[in-house]
């Protein structure tokens, strides 16, 4: 009877230790995945911002933006904000979307 109790107690303590190690390992892996996910989000956000700035400068200089460019810009702008982008790009977005769609067209 005492041996059984000791065996059960050792089993419980061993299992608790193993579960603790396993839990710690899982938590560490989750933290690394969260950090990686955040880095990917920030990276995509930075790339979207770069592309929007590039398009903005290109089409502002041209004086117009074709419909396909505006659709693409709008999509980038929405995704940028979904990823937590701040309002700095809002003014540029408004200016870009106000451009005429054809050269020589007035708004």
Per domain, the residue ranges of the chain are: 2-97
- Residue entry with tokens 């540029």: 92
Residue 64: Cβ within 10 Å count: 17
Q: Is the pTM of this model over 0.75?
A: no
Distance CA 48, CA 92 (A): 13
Over the stretch 5-48, which tens digit does the pLDDT of each residue have?
777 766 666 666 666 666 677 778 888 888 999 999 999 999 99
Distance CA 41, CA 35 (A): 10
Tell me the H-state helices in 1-107.
Answer: 2-62, 67-82, 88-97
Over the stretch 59-102, which tens digit does the pLDDT of each residue have?
999 999 999 999 999 999 999 999 988 788 999 999 999 999 99
Query: What's the confidence (pLDDT) of residue 103?
Result: 87
What would the mean pLDDT of 43-59 be, rounded to a whole number? Answer: 96
Query: What's the confidence (pLDDT) of residue 95?
Result: 95
């Amino acid at each position: 009877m005492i041996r059984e109790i000791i065996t059960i107690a050792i089993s419980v303590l061993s299992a608790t230790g193993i579960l603790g190690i396993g839990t710690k390992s899982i938590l560490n892996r989750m933290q690394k995945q969260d950090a990686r996910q955040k880095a990917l989000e920030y990276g995509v956000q930075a790339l979207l911002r770069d592309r929007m700035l590039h398009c903005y400068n290109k089409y502002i200089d041209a004086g117009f933006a074709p419909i396909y460019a505006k659709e693409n810009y709008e999509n980038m702008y929405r995704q940028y904000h979904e990823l937590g982008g701040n309002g700095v790009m809002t003014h540029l977005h408004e200016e870009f979307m106000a451009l005429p769609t054809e050269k020589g067209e007035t708004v």
